[in-house]
Structure 1
Amino acid sequence: MKSLSIKNTAVSALYFIASMAILTGLWTLISIITKNEIPGPLSTWTIFKELASEPFYDRGPNDKGIGNQLFSSLSRVFSGFGLGSIIAIPMGLLMGSSKIGMRLLNPIVQILRPVSPLAWFPLGLLAFKAAEGATVFIIAITSLWPTLINTAFGVASIPQDHKNVGKAFGFSKWKYVVKIMLPYSIPHIITGLRLSIGVAWMVIVAGEMLSGGVGIGFFVWDSWNGLSLERILVAILIIGTVGLLLDKCFNALQTVFSWESK
Structure 2
Amino acid sequence: MVSAVFHSPLEAAAAHVAAPVLSRSVAAVPAAAAVPVQQAPEPTPRAPRDFSWIWLRVLPPILGFGLLILVWELVALKNSNGFPSPGAVWQQALTVFSDPFYSKGPNDQGVGWNVLSSLKRVAMGFGLAAAVGIPAGFAIGRFGFLARMFNPLISLLRPVSPLAWLPIGLLVFKGANPAAIWTIFICSIWPMIINTAVGVQRVPSDYMNVARVLDLSEWKILTRILFPAVLPYMLTGVRLAVGTAWLVIVAAEMLTGGVGIGFWVWDEWNNLNVANIIIAIFVIGIVGLVLEFALIRIATAFTFEEVKS
TM above 0.5, yes or no, is yes
Identity %: 44
Q: Which of these residues, 242, 254, 259, is aligned with residue 299 of structure 2?
A: 254
Matched, 1:26 2:33: no
Structure showing greater radius of gyration is 2
Unpaired runs of 5+ residues, structure 1, are 1-6
Matched, 1:227 2:272: yes
Aligned partners of 2:206, 2:240: CA distance in 1, in Å? Answer: 29
Aligned partners of 2:100, 2:58: CA distance in 1, in Å? Answer: 28
Aligned partners of 1:10, 1:171: CA distance in 2, in Å? Answer: 55
SS at match of 1:57: coil
Letter in 2 for 1:209: M
- Alignment TM-score, normalising by the size of structure 1: 0.92
Q: Which of these residues, 93, 101, 112, is aligned with residue 56 of structure 1?
A: 101
CA RMSD of aligned residues (A): 2.0
Q: Please give the per-residue CA displacement for 1:79-126, whole angstroms capped at 9, x wherever unaligned.
A: 111111111111111111111111111111111111122211111112
Letter in 2 for 1:116: S
Matched, 1:47 2:92: yes
Matching residue of 1:4:
none
- Alignment TM-score, normalising by the size of structure 2: 0.79
Aligned partners of 1:15, 1:121: CA distance in 2, in Å? Answer: 40
Matching residue of 1:124:
169
Aligned partners of 2:60, 2:131: CA distance in 1, in Å? Answer: 37
Give the number of the structure with larger relative contact order, counting CA–CA contacts within 8 Å between residues 6 or more apart: 1
Task: List, as ranges, runs of 4+ consecutive aligned residues in structure 1 with deviation greater than 6 Å.
Answer: 7-10
Letter in 2 for 1:227: L
SS at match of 1:258: coil
How far 1:35 sits from its partner (Å)?
4.2
Aligned partners of 1:15, 1:192: CA distance in 2, in Å? Answer: 29
More helix by share: 1
Aligned partners of 1:10, 1:91: CA distance in 2, in Å? Answer: 46
How far 1:10 sits from its partner (Å)?
9.5
Q: Please give the per-residue CA displacement for 1:3-53, whole angstroms capped at 9, x wherever unaligned.
A: xxxx96995444433332232222223223324643221111111111101
Letter in 1 for 2:259: V
Unpaired runs of 5+ residues, structure 2, are 1-51
Q: Which of these residues, 88, 96, 113, is aligned with residue 158 of structure 2?
A: 113
Matched, 1:148 2:193: yes
Matching residue of 1:158:
203
Q: 1:10 to 1:247 in 2, by over 3 A?
A: farther
Aligned partners of 2:110, 2:160: CA distance in 1, in Å? Answer: 33
Aligned partners of 2:55, 2:230: CA distance in 1, in Å? Answer: 33
Matching residue of 1:207:
252
SS at match of 2:97: helix
> How many pairs were matched up?
257
SS at match of 1:111: helix
